[in-house]
Amino acid sequence: MSLHDEQKARLEAITAWAVRVRTTLSDTLAAHAGEVHFRPGSTGVSMVGLLPDRPQRGKSGIKNLDRLARDFEVLFARYCRDIEQGRATGEKALQSALIAEAYRNQRRLKSINEASEATTDPVELVFVVDEISLPVASGKMVCDVLVLRRDGGRCTPVLLELKDARMLTRLVEQVEGYASLIDEHATSFAKLFQAVLGDPVEFDGPAEKWIVWPLAGEARDPREDELTERGVRVVGYEENSGRYEFRIGGPP
């Protein structure tokens, strides 16, 4: 099997689990909006806690989704709440905060959407899924957050790569590499988005590349021009006591 076919097969398996999540766990998600995220994988589902003091704690490889729905309170306490945090990072906290906010706002990335209104290119971003791992020649590549841009009638995939340090080279390599995978497998990713959202999805263009990293500069990011030339939109964030504020750069 070629690498392309391996990637396609992986996406098909993840999509099948995404359908199961939507059909079996939607009520649980609604009842606990902002507390938990169910991440589809190729061989099962991960229950991921979004609690501010326990970001991204959870359990992977869950296959019995009926039991997960039935015994959610017990399992959530065991794997997501009443557990040591482990290695906490700014990226985990940011990722959990973005996803938690999305679940509390009909999947809208409310803070980023509102911050974009100060730019010439405001957006309406809807959270879809995170940490989709695909095989590549060097091993595997994992995205941070995938969202769908829906403003102005758009239906465009957007890749958000998160970093709690301003590590430009690594971030650009990651966002460019994974965006190329989305474009190569646009039909398969559209099916995954559709499985998660439950609405028809047909992409209208290539993936947008965004990076989210610590705020710098007074009015605009000092690396914005450089990144814009590479087709990357910049989001700076500032965290204060678990609350995040964002400043969005202009479009590429």
80-117: pLDDT as tens digits: 998 776 666 788 899 999 999 999 999 999 999 999 99
Pairwise pLDDT comparison (212 vs 170), residue with the higher score = 212
Average pLDDT over residues 125-150: 97
Average pLDDT, the chain: 95
Instruction: Name residue, tokens 């099997």.
Output: 1
Q: Could you give the CA distance from residue 111 to residue 247 in angstroms, rounded to a whole number?
A: 10
pLDDT for 234 beyond 80: yes
Residue 219 has pLDDT above 90, yes or no: no
Provide the pLDDT for residue 88: 60
The residue whose two tokens read 């989709």 is: 132
Specify which residues 156 forms β-bridges with. Answer: 149
Task: Report the predicted TM-score, pTM, of the whole model to 2 decimal places.
Answer: 0.95
pLDDT of residue 164: 86
Domain boundaries along the sequence of the chain: 3-248
Say if residue 235's pLDDT is above 90.
Answer: yes
Helix H, strand E, coil C: the string for the chain is CCHHHHHHHHHHHHHHHHHHHHHHHHHHHHHCCCCEEEEECCCCEEEEECCCCCCCCEEEEECCHHHHHHCHHHHHHHHHHCCCCCCCCHHHHHHHHHHHHHHHCCCECHHHHHHHCCCCCCCCEEEEEECCEEEECCEEEECCEEEEECHHHCCEEEEEEECCCCCHHHHHHHHHHHHHHHHHCHHHHHHHHHHHHCCCCCCCCCCEEEEEEECCCCCCCCCHHHHHHCCEEEEEEEEECCEEEEEECCCC
Q: What is the pLDDT of residue 12?
A: 99
Note the pLDDT tens digit of each residue in 146-194. 999 999 999 999 999 999 877 788 889 999 999 999 999 999 999 999 9
Closest to 161 in 3D by CA, of 215, 235, 66, 230:
235
- Count of C-beta atoms within a 10 Å radius of residue 217: 12
pLDDT tens digits along 236-252: 999 988 889 999 999 99
* pLDDT, tens digit, 9 for 90 and up, residues 24-54: 999 999 999 999 999 999 999 999 999 988 8
